[in-house]
Chain A
Amino acid sequence: MTKLTDSELWDALEEDALDDEMEAVLAKTPEERRRDLREAGFDLEKVHAQADALVAEPTRPAKVVALRPWRRRLAIALPTAVALAAGIALVMNLSGPEVVGHGRDDPPAVRAEALRREARDACGARNWPICLDRLNQARALDARGDEAPEIQALRRSAGDPAAHP
């Protein structure tokens, strides 16, 4: 065995430290890891969103950022559009027709049911992120419908930890 140089010794010490850290992490239970991640300042929902984004987006992002759900995007875009339209009407002194929606004028329960159909299809195709996303969107429109045993079963199959047993 050739004697290590000081630089090689330092590298060996650093490598051993990495290996030991890896063994310590691998020896932990998932619950212990979650606790440690929370203590380190991670938001687990954001972490899970990043995990979902990684499989939903096949191209390499510079940095994966959780996409804002379309409803939240809509929540920003719609009032902005309404405000703009109101501003224009005010400037032009027009009393135009009432600003209406953008075609999504079905009752919430109907839209929720359409989303749940998409969720069933996605779960059937084992596309779990889409399945959960559609279920969550549907729940926001129709919370009671989300309590249905069939929907809860879908949630369980999609790995939703908040699903009822």
Chain B
Amino acid sequence: MAGEREGVVDLRTMTPKERYDLHEAVLDFAEKITRSPEAAEELTQEALLRLMTTRAWDPLGPTTLERHVCGIVRSLLWAERTSKRPKYERLAMSEHVLVADGGRSAETMSLDRAEREGKEAVGARRVAKLRAKLKGYVLELLILDLMQNEGIRKPAELATRTGKPVAEVNDARERIRRYMKSIIAAESGEAEDEEVA
């Protein structure tokens, strides 16, 4: 790649085609995970700026440039999700704190504890909802159990443990995600919390 020089990539020395291919790959990923062209553009630009400043890529390392920048996008989004929970989620967390603490104001509690408990309450409610929606889907529920109880996450390992083909496991994981999206959409008031096949 033309942009490689002494272990550091410089976008300015890449050919336009190389830069456009990279930009498109990163933008495509950002759009897939945000479903918002505006958010995807902002994430892409931020990730590429980080690449040129604090998150340089090492061409001699094991990761491709595209994967490296997509990884930056992923961590930016994840940081945003965990530090700035959506309004509806923060509301649910503060409601939980008020109820759990006998009606005392949230200020009287440790913010850390409040946040932790609120996050757990949101998680518990969501997972309960997810399990309820997945009632009757034996493989999907088994995957949730293996993930939660044994920390198994890789499709191949899940396939081994469930005795199902990887393709079937992946279909089940897709169904789990569709239900998760419908739960989140319902929380944010974007859509009905309807059944998804």
Point out residues on A near B: beta carbons under 8 Å.
1, 3-22, 24-26, 28, 30, 33-34, 36-37, 40-42, 44, 47-48, 50-52, 54-55, 60-61, 63-64, 126, 128-129, 132, 158-161
Asked if B49 contacts A54 (CB within 8 A), the reply is yes
Asked if B16 contacts A126 (CB within 8 A), the reply is no
Q: Tell me if B156 is interfacial: C-beta within 8 Å of chain A.
A: no
Shortest Cβ gap from B116 to chain A (Å): 9
Q: Tell me if B148 is interfacial: C-beta within 8 Å of chain A.
A: yes
Add 18 more A-B contacts to A5-B120, A26-B25, A42-B37 (CB < 8 A).
Answer: A5-B124, A6-B127, A6-B128, A9-B147, A12-B147, A16-B153, A16-B173, A18-B78, A21-B33, A22-B70, A25-B29, A34-B24, A42-B31, A54-B11, A54-B48, A61-B45, A63-B42, A158-B15
Asked if B19 contacts A161 (CB within 8 A), the reply is no
B19-49 contacts to A (CB < 8 Å): 19-25, 27-29, 31-33, 37, 41-42, 45, 48-49
Query: What are 30 pairs between A and B in contact, CB < 8 Å?
Result: A1-B150, A6-B120, A6-B148, A9-B123, A9-B144, A10-B126, A10-B180, A14-B81, A18-B33, A18-B74, A18-B78, A19-B74, A25-B25, A25-B28, A28-B28, A30-B25, A33-B24, A33-B28, A36-B28, A37-B31, A41-B37, A42-B27, A48-B20, A48-B23, A51-B20, A51-B23, A54-B11, A60-B49, A126-B13, A159-B15
Asked if B123 contacts A18 (CB within 8 A), the reply is no
Report the bound CA distance from A28 to B66 in whole Å. 12
Asked if B77 contacts A18 (CB within 8 A), the reply is yes
Q: Tell me if B106 is interfacial: C-beta within 8 Å of chain A.
A: no
Q: Which residues of A sit under 8 angstroms from B22, Cβ to Cβ?
A: 51
Asked if A64 contacts B45 (CB within 8 A), the reply is yes
Q: Which residues of A sit under 8 angstroms from B19, Cβ to Cβ?
A: 51-52, 55
Q: Which residues of B sit under 8 angstroms from A48, Cβ to Cβ?
A: 16, 20, 23
Asked if B120 contacts A47 (CB within 8 A), the reply is no
Asked if B17 contacts A159 (CB within 8 A), the reply is yes
Asked if B16 contacts A132 (CB within 8 A), the reply is yes
Shortest Cβ gap from B42 to chain A (Å): 7
B47-105 contacts to A (CB < 8 Å): 48-49, 64, 66-67, 70-71, 74, 77-78, 81
Report the bound CA distance from A30 to B22 in whole Å. 9
Asked if B17 contacts A50 (CB within 8 A), the reply is no
Q: Which residues of B sit under 8 angstroms from A42, Cβ to Cβ?
A: 27, 31, 37
Q: Tell me if B149 is interfacial: C-beta within 8 Å of chain A.
A: yes
Most chain B beta-carbon neighbours within 10 Å: one of A16, A22, A28, A50? A22
Interface residues on B, range: 35 or more
Report the bound CA distance from A12 to B182 in whole Å. 17
Asked if B23 contacts A47 (CB within 8 A), the reply is yes
Asked if A15 contacts B27 (CB within 8 A), the reply is no
Report the bound CA distance from A30 to B53 in whole Å. 26
Asked if B180 contacts A22 (CB within 8 A), the reply is no
Q: Which residues of A sit under 8 angstroms from B21, Cβ to Cβ?
A: 30
Report the bound CA distance from A26 to B66 in whole Å. 7
Most chain B beta-carbon neighbours within 10 Å: one of A4, A6, A21, A22? A6
Report the bound CA distance from A11 to B42 in whole Å. 23
- For A30, the closest partner residue in chain B by CB is B21
Report the bound CA distance from A34 to B21 in whole Å. 9
